[in-house]
Copies of this chain bind each other. A is one copy, B any other.
Amino acid sequence: MNIYDVSKKAGVSIATVSRVLNGNPNVSEKTRARVLDVMNETGYTPNVFARGLGLGTIRTIGIMCSDSSDPYLAHAIYYLERELRLSGYDSILCCTGNSLENKRQYFDLLRSKKVDAFILVGSKFIELRAKDNSYLVEAAKDVPIMLVNGYLEGENIYCTLCDDRTAVRQAAEQLLSGGCNDILYLFTSYSYSGTNKMKGYRDALMNLGLSVREDYIQNCPKDVLETKKLLSRLDEEGLHFDAVLTSDDALAVGAVKYAHAYGRKIPDDLSIIGYNNSIYSICTDPEITSIDSKVEALCTTTVTTLMGVFNGCNVPSRTTIAADLIKRATTKFH
């Protein structure tokens, strides 16, 4: 018997059950009575939400990410911990690596410690095959699961997403309207976020009635020197490109280094756009135009949403935040 069973049996929403547990006055007396009756009948003992409300809680959130050495994830962890601390919650972080087995092991470890909620950071935490995520959907019956820039459907699962697709589409449109004709798109991953970014690139071309040439979409490791190597090879093979749009700043740094090595003038001869507006984007000369994926806003929104869940508020299961294009010297429109 869990809170879902109570809500189903009482014919009210989970938020309403939570409000009753919370003593929130925004519940009619009739509804409150019905919920309490169901609880008495079924012997339901509030656990998760009660813990979230500070009743017997350890006031600790489990944060999981695949790789803490990735700059994007490292910053997300930093912001999440800060926001949770401001809300009076401790956090425990587990870096799981990319194997599903390890992810599940760490998840079970944190569950056994009775954390009040999970925050899973990054698109890569969600597996491509639905059945590989069923342990999360199942666990969410007992404990809220928050995803930072990852997407998974399920009750008690809440996603805060950056609108990567629109961001990449708009960046590509700016390149096209600035006179670039042959935009190379470099991506690192087929994750939810990675796939959306790629769709944005396709959207921009298709909206203008241009054809998408598959050899202008290239998979690339998230590595500066590998990116430089890839672009050098494509150049030597005779592929013509006047812009490089990337899914990660590390790739954009590699593009700048390729341009230096091959005597291509930035931005007159080659425009470059990065993603994440990370420290990488200001390491090079010229500095790199980059899409700010708003990691701080994603993290503060995630924590605000979680506190809403604990307080029995109606919170959206999916919140999307718009990205910003930060214009620097690798594009003509800066």
Q: Which residues of A contact B (CB under 8 A)?
A: 60, 67-71, 74-75, 77-78, 81-82, 85, 90-95, 97, 102, 105-106, 109, 113, 224-225, 250, 253, 256-257, 260, 279-280, 282-285
Contacts and interface: CB of A to CB of B under 8 A. Distances in A.
Given A69-B71, A91-B94, A279-B280, 7 more contacts: A77-B95, A81-B95, A90-B109, A224-B282, A256-B285, A283-B284, A284-B284
A224 B287 CA distance: 12
B91 A279 contact: no
A272 to B, nearest CB: 13
Contact of A60 (B109, B284, B285): B109
Given A60-B109, A67-B78, A95-B78, A260 B279 contact: no
Contacts of A225: 282
B95 A94 contact: no
Copies in the complex: 2
A85 B60 CA distance: 23
A260 B93 CA distance: 40
Of A94, A97, A253, A283, which is in contact with the most chain B CB atoms at under 10 Å from its CB? A283
Q: Which 4 residue pairs of A and B lie closest in terms of their CB atoms, listed nearest first?
A: A283-B283, A93-B93, A69-B78, A69-B74
17 contacts: A68-B68, A68-B74, A68-B78, A71-B74, A74-B74, A78-B95, A81-B97, A82-B97, A90-B109, A91-B94, A92-B92, A224-B279, A225-B282, A256-B285, A284-B284, A284-B285, A285-B285
B283 A253 contact: yes
Contacts of A97: 81-82, 85
Q: Which one of A70, A78, A225 has the highest number of Cβ atoms from chain B below 10 Å of its Cβ?
A: A78
Nearest to A105: B90
Contacts of A68: 68, 74, 77-78, 81, 93
A92 B90 contact: no
Tell which of A93, A109, A113, A285 has the most Cβ of chain B within 10 Å: A93
Contacts of A279: 224, 250, 280
A259 to B, nearest CB: 10
A170 B81 CA distance: 39
Nearest to A282: B224
Contacts of A106: 90
Contacts of A102: 85
Given A68-B68, A280-B283, A92 B94 contact: yes
A74 B285 CA distance: 26
A5 B74 CA distance: 42
